[in-house]
Each structure stands twice: as C-alpha cells, then as structure tokens.
Amino acid sequence: MQAQDEALVAVSEETFEKTVLEAQRPVLLDFSAEWCGPCVAVEPVIRDLASEYADRLTVGTVDVDEEPELAAHYGVRSLPTVLLIEGGRVRRVLVGARSRQEYRAAIEGLLH
C-alpha cells in the first residue's frame, strides 16, 4: 500500500481536515492495514474505483497502524472499513471486504 496511484490519496492526521472534512465533493475513505488479508484483497477494487470516479469522488486510504487516532475517532474496529463522507459527515459505513458491486452501489447512492 506504499505506492499510491494519483487518483488514490493517502490520508493522514495532518491532511485529514483539508482532504476529507473540507472536500468539495464526496469522499470514500478506506481504513486498512498492510497485514490485513481482506484489506489487501480489496485494495485493487478501491484503486479501480478511485480511477473510475476520479472526476466525482475523492478516494483516500488511511493506514490504521500509522494513523490510529483517525481510526479511533471514527470507531473503526474491523478492517477493512470504508466510510462514505459528504460535507464532513459520515453518510455510509461498509465494514469488511465487499464486492465491487456493493462499493459501486454505495457510491452511486451517495452521488445521486
């Protein structure tokens, strides 16, 4: 998860406010860790979604080992956890590995 695609943004405590809370468009925020098997399995899907929705959605990742405060703030207890945030407010939470179709349906529900 170290190498990030341009469409996928690594989010840290320092960049969180600007990237997520002040975002002008909805944000998909993926809480994950390198040691998490389901997170590794979902990572290519998240990357694809970041590219697919690059013009309408910000897609960010939070490494819970590097940013435990962010995970704690949002009550993340299981990985992966994906938050869909709009206007600084959590609109949807998806816990556990999901299919591409489930993520797309959640995104489409937020965008429409």
Tell me if 97 sits within 8 A of 79, measured CB to CB. no
Q: Give the Cα separation of 23 and 11 in Å (integer).
A: 12
Tokens representing residue 88 in the block: 């600084």
In the three-class reduction of DSSP (H, G, I as helix; E, B as strand; rest coil), residue 90 is classed as strand
* Strand partners for 94: 82
**Residues annotated as part of the active site:** 36, 39
